[in-house]
Structure formats: C-alpha cells, structure tokens
C-alpha cells in the first residue's frame, strides 16, 4: 500500500482504500493518490465517449421519486433505495448541542427526491417527451447510491462513482454501441495486463415473470466484466424500455427509441488497479500507457 | 440563450439554465454547453489550488449525522438539512406499479447519513484526530445540498457544485490563504470584465450569542463576492472552530489548527457568465482567456 504523503502534507494512508480505513456506512473519502487515479480513469472513459461523438453532461444529483417510480425502480430495487428527506423542524428535538447520531423517521418530512442508483436514469429523463436522432450518445459521471447488506473498502460502497456512455436510437445502433465499447474494454484490460472475464448477468430491470423476463433468458441484457469476483464494468441492453417509459421517440419512425449503456464502477477499478500495480502512482502510469496503446490500436484499425 | 445542438443530437434548450426549464424541486441537469463551462471553471479554480500546493481530493458524498452534529450543523442550519434515509421494506406499500410521487416518513428507516451543505466539512473530518503541518491545503469539488424556501434556475438550487480551496494551519497562514485567493478572484473578475462587489457577510457557524458571535461582529468571518445580488464566491475564516471540534492539531505547537476556505458556487458562476457573454461557448472562451491573463499576471508579480 502506498503511504506517500503529498507536498501539501495530506496523509495518504488512512483512506488509501483497499487496505485503508473502512467506513461501515459505505461512504469513504479518496486520498490524493486515489483521487488522481479516479480522475485519470474517468477522463479516459469520458474521452472514449466523446471521441465517439457523445455529448458530455452533468446530470442532477437527485431524481424525483415519481420519475424513479415510473422507471419501476421502487418495484425492482426497493432494497437499494435511499431517499433525500428534509428535517421536519416542527418535530425535531431542538435542544442545542444534543448531537444526534441519527434522525428517526418521525423527525423527517416526506421525501419527494431519491438518490440515484445508476447514472443513466437521468439521461433518459432528460430526453423525456423528445424526439432524438439515431446515433445519439451521452456520457455522464454520476455519484450513485446502492444500499447493500454490508460494505467493503472501495469495492462495495453505498456511494460510488459510475461513468456511463449511453446510446439512444435504433436497435442496430445501440447494439453496435455495446460491441464497440465491449471491444474497447477488452483491448484496454489486455493492455493493462489485467485479466477480465466477460459474463452474462441478470438484471431485474424488467417486469419479472413477464414477456421481458422471458426475452432476457433467451438473450442476456447485461454482460459484466469481472476482475476476480468483482464486476468493474458492464454492458447493458434495455431494448425500448426507457424509450417507452420516457416517451423518447426516434426521429423518422416516431417509435420509442432503443437504449444501451456501457458502465464503469470507478472505485472498483481503483481497488483492482491498486492491487495489480501496488501504488496509486504506478496505476496512474499504467492507465495512461494502456489508454494510449488502445488509442493507437484504434488508429491502426481505421487505417487497415 | 444558446440553443446550439451538439453533434450527438442532444438538445441544449431545455436545460440551458438561466432562462431554460426550471425544476421547482431545485435539481437540474446541465446541458452539454453548461457542462463544458462548469468543467472549465472548475478546472481553473482547482488549478489555482494545486498551483498553491493543495492536494486535490474527492470526498465522500454523504456524511454521518453524528459528524455533522459535532460541527453544530443541525443547530445552525436545521432549515437547510437533508437526510439520506433508506426505504423501510417492511412498511412500504409494495403494490407493484403503484408509482408513488413521494414517500411518507413512516415508509423510511432512521437516517444515519446526511447530505453535505458545504464541501469543506469532509476535509475537516478527514483530518480528524491528526496532526497537520502548517500550510496544509486541500481542494475539493463537492455536490452540496441546501434546502431553500424556493428555487430559481441555476442561481438557487437545492443541489449544486461547490469548489473549495481549504487551508489548515497557523492563524497567519489561513489569513494569508484568503488574501491570496481574494486577490485572485478580484483579478479574475477584472479580466472577465465582470464587476464583483466584496461584502462582509454573517455566518451562523458559531455558538450564537457566545464569545464567537461577539468576535464575528468585531471581525467578519465571511466575505462574499457578489455579481448583482448573487454571491458567487466567498472567503471564510473559521478561526480554530473546526480544529477544536475535529481535534486537528498543528505540528510543533500541538494546538488546534486554524482553518479558512475560498468557496465557489459553480452554477451561480454559470448563471452570471451566461448572462454576461450570451452563450456557453463565448463564456468558455472568456474564462480561458481570463484564466491565462491571471496566470501571466502572477508570473509578472513573481518576477518583479
């Protein structure tokens, strides 16, 4: 583990991640070294998106409960859900200096906003009621929140960073989008000397037991890239689910758009790369080099 | 207002900010143009920090209620407070497809984590119980949350971005820190042709009525830079309040550190710069040019 101090005197050790201080609540600060690696990785993945024509956007940090409900979030992922609830001033124990360690539900007002569990939801909601051109892509970095049974270092967090590259358009386009970024992830992991396993996974983002669940068995809608047991990236097909629920229509046909996304769980990349390279600094170097190699590889491919 | 579409077909208009769609809930997506301006501004302000030796860090997105309570947050800003509460699966109305627009407090579990209202709290908590060298600086970008009576475009949001450059050390150092960044903000706004007013402001972050409140009247602890009526940056002196509450001690003396911070409300800068320059693209150009001018000015000063 790196214990390098920065020039500014900020200690690395306590929040270094994989073997550092763990917060049982699943939220954790990143040390300067870990921060540098996260930013390097994120800029690389964002660049993969913008090089492919994606618009880079910053989405809202909280989403309306009614919007998440429309996307079946509370039916499919109620166990993960976190709500943002204001303090009810009238009911609060106002004793100054009382120093609570929690607030009971009775001390809260109703929650109309939820913390997002994935970065792409806001992208579909942004396009709600609109027509989009085939080949529309958007890339976003989201702080996402998923309640888990337990938390572990940087590999299982309540709050984490997810970079996504999202495609909206025809069925053919959104499939080609995933092939493109699946190939890119494979090439990048090979350049890093980081063996990844690609596996089909299930995703409950559909009416369970309904027609979509049957389709999912016939044709997987989610593939994960795993380092050991840790899924660090995924490719997700949503068919026209979000197109229908958000009334996003394809220019020309007027039909609900198909969508897909490539997603990167950044703190998990940090865990895996720190383990692979032994320090944040070495991992940053390796990501730079592998990013360049993949870019050059692309150039070769386009010339051949 | 800019209505430029990007190559990727993502519409600018609906979330362009100052005159675009407004969300009465105070959360808003940034269009690609607004996103580019926010990233440009943030990289500039972050660079001001790192050029001065600051460690750039990413802090946790939620903070323990018990930590915020220790900083008197719930005594001083209860009206702003938002808590992150899990859904109580046992009490939830589980009817699939019910599509709630809010969750009643009774449907929530107790909240042990809160949404931060300022980016620097996590910096003090990170250093809790540690000794730090004089001259320690940290720069962070936080997504912050403040409940308001009403929300307005990008200038008054529930959820917004705050870039901070935080100083920890001796009283002299943290004062010099604010002089340095106060001068920098003034030079930058002059280079932008953006008239800013610097005004003393009050900050309730102290025992009201106590000794600190008296001190605040004698010597302001907060100065704001206002464009029109909108505070877009602030300089904040905390004396040794956070040093005491978080047990952060100065190397050598062992005394609680003094702290101060320069803070930038990024969406408010977006509002002001869009109004000043008429488009996101022109504003990005202007920020680049003014940033360069301020940097060259620094170089001249160091040579003279």
Q: pLDDT (tens digit, 0 to 9) for every residue of chain A, 304 residues total? A: 333 444 445 655 444 443 334 468 999 999 999 999 999 999 999 999 999 999 999 999 999 999 999 999 999 899 999 999 999 988 765 566 678 999 999 999 999 999 999 999 999 999 999 999 999 999 999 999 999 999 999 999 999 999 999 999 999 999 999 999 999 999 999 999 999 999 998 765 555 555 556 555 556 789 999 999 999 999 999 999 999 999 999 999 999 999 999 999 999 999 999 999 999 999 999 999 999 999 877 655 444 3
Measured at the CA of A23, the angle between CA A19 and CA A24, to 5 degrees, comes to 115
pLDDT at B98: 76
Which residues contact residue B195 at a Cβ distance below 8 angstroms, ignoring those fewer than 6 apart?
B189, B227
CA–CA dist B84, B60 (Å, integer) = 13
Angstroms from A41 CA to nearest CA on chain B: 14
A162 touches chain B (CB under 8 A): no
Q: What is the mean pLDDT of residues B234-261?
A: 97
Q: Is a pLDDT exceeding 70 seen at residue B211? A: no
Q: List, in sequence order, the alpha helices (H) in chain A.
A: 32-51, 65-70, 73-76, 121-126, 171-192, 211-218, 241-245, 266-277, 280-303
CA-nearest residue of chain A to B95?
Answer: A75
Q: What is the mean pLDDT of residues B73-90?
A: 93
Q: What percent of chain B shows pLDDT beyond 70?
A: 82
Range with lowest mean pLDDT among A100-104, B7-11, B71-75: B7-11
Decide if A10 and B75 are in contact by the 8 Å CB cutoff. Answer: no
Strand, coil or helix: A304: coil
DSSP string computed for B152-215: BTTTB-SEEEEEEEEEEE-HHHHHHHHHHHHHHHHHHHHHTT---EEEEE----S-TTSHHHHH
Nearest to A61 by CA among B123, B267, B152, B4: B267
The backbone region for B204, taken as left when phi is positive above 0, alpha when psi lies in -120 to 50, beta otherwise, is alpha
Structure tokens at A172: 């053919």
| Nearest neighbour of B100 by CB, restricted to A74, A132, A145 | A74
Among positive and negative, which fits the CA dihedral A252, A255, A256, A262? Answer: negative
CA–CA dist B49, B136 (Å, integer) = 11
A129 touches chain B (CB under 8 A): no
| CATH code, residues A13-86+103-303 | 3.30.930.10
Phi/psi for B121 (5° steps) reads -55, -45
Q: What percent of chain B shows pLDDT beyond 90?
A: 78
pLDDT at B201: 86
A81 touches chain B (CB under 8 A): yes
Q: Where are the domains of chain B?
A: 13-61+116-303
pLDDT at B51: 97
Greater confidence (A5 vs B114) lies with B114
Yes or no: domain B13-61+116-303 corresponds to CATH 3.30.930.10: yes
Under the banding of pLDDT at 50, 70 and 90, the label for residue B34 is very high
CA–CA dist B28, A59 (Å, integer) = 7
Phi/psi for B90 (5° steps) reads -70, -35
Which residues numbered 242-261 in B keep a CB inside 8 Å of some CB on A? Answer: none
- Residues of chain A found within 8 Å of residue B103, distances taken between Cβ atoms: 65, 83, 85, 110-111
CA–CA dist B137, A50 (Å, integer) = 33
| Nearest neighbour of B83 by CB, restricted to A6, A103, A158 | A103
Measured at the CA of A26, the angle between CA A271 and CA B65, to 5 degrees, comes to 145
């Amino acid at each position: 583990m790196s214990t390098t101090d920065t020039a500014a005197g900020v200690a690395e050790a306590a929040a270094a991640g994989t073997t550092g201080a763990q917060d049982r609540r699943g939220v954790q600060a990143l040390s300067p070294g870990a921060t540098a690696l996260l930013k390097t990785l994120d800029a690389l993945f964002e660049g993969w998106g913008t090089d492919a024509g994606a618009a880079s956007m910053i989405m809202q940090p909280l989403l309306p409960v009614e919007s998440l409900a429309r996307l079946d979030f509370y039916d499919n992922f109620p166990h993960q859900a976190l709500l943002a609830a204001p303090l009810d001033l009238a009911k609060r124990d106002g004793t100054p200096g009382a120093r609570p360690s929690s607030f009971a539900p009775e001390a809260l007002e109703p929650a109309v906003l939820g913390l997002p569990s994935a970065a792409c939801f806001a992208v579909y909601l942004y396009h709600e009621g609109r027509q989009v051109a085939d080949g529309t892509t958007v890339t976003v970095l989201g702080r996402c929140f998923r309640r888990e049974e337990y938390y572990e270092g940087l590999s299982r967090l309540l709050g984490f960073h997810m970079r996504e590259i999202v495609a909206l358009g025809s069925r053919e386009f959104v499939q080609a989008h995933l092939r493109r970024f699946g190939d890119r992830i494979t090439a990048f992991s090979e350049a890093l000397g980081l063996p990844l396993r690609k596996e089909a996974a299930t995703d409950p983002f559909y009416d369970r037991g309904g027609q979509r669940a049957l389709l999912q068995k016939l044709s997987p809608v989610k593939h994960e890239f795993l380092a050991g047991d840790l899924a660090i990236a995924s490719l997700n097909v949503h068919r026209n689910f979000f197109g229908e629920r958000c009334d996003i229509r394809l220019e020309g046909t007027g039909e609900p758009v198909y969508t897909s996304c490539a997603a990167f769980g950044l703190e998990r990349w940090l865990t895996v790369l720190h383990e692979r390279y032994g320090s944040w600094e070495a991992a940053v170097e390796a990501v730079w080099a592998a990013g360049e190699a993949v870019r050059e590889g692309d150039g070769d491919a386009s010339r051949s």
